[in-house]
Amino acid sequence: MTTVLAVSAATWAVLMALGPLLQAQMIVKRRSSRGVSIGYFAILLVGFVLWIAYGLAIAKPALVIPNAVAVVTALATIAVAVRYR
C-alpha cells in the first residue's frame, strides 16, 4: 500500500510540477509577464531544491523526481517571464 501511495503521490507531484508551464504559455501568448511574480517562482525554486536535497538524503526517488521536474519547470517559467519583462 505504501508503494502505491508513493507512486500515486509522485505521479501527481510531477503533474503539479508541470503546472507553471501553463503560466509560461500565457506569458508567451500575451507577450507580457507583467502580472507574474518572479519572486514567487524564485521562492518555490528554493523549496524544490531543498526537497530534492532531503529526498537524496533519505534515498527517496518519489521526492527527488517530481521536485527535479519542478526545478526545471520553475527555471523555464522564470526565464520566459524575464524575457517578456
Residue-wise pLDDT tens digits, 8-34: 988 999 999 999 999 999 999 999 999
DSSP state of 81: H
Average pLDDT over residues 56-67: 93
* Prediction pTM value: 0.86
* 1 has a pLDDT exceeding 80: no
CA distance 34 to 31: 9
What the chain holds in terms of domains, given with CATH numbers, is 2-83 (1.20.1280.290)
CA distance 2 to 8: 10
pLDDT at 62: 86
Q: Residue 67: pLDDT band by 50, 70, 90 thresholds?
A: very high
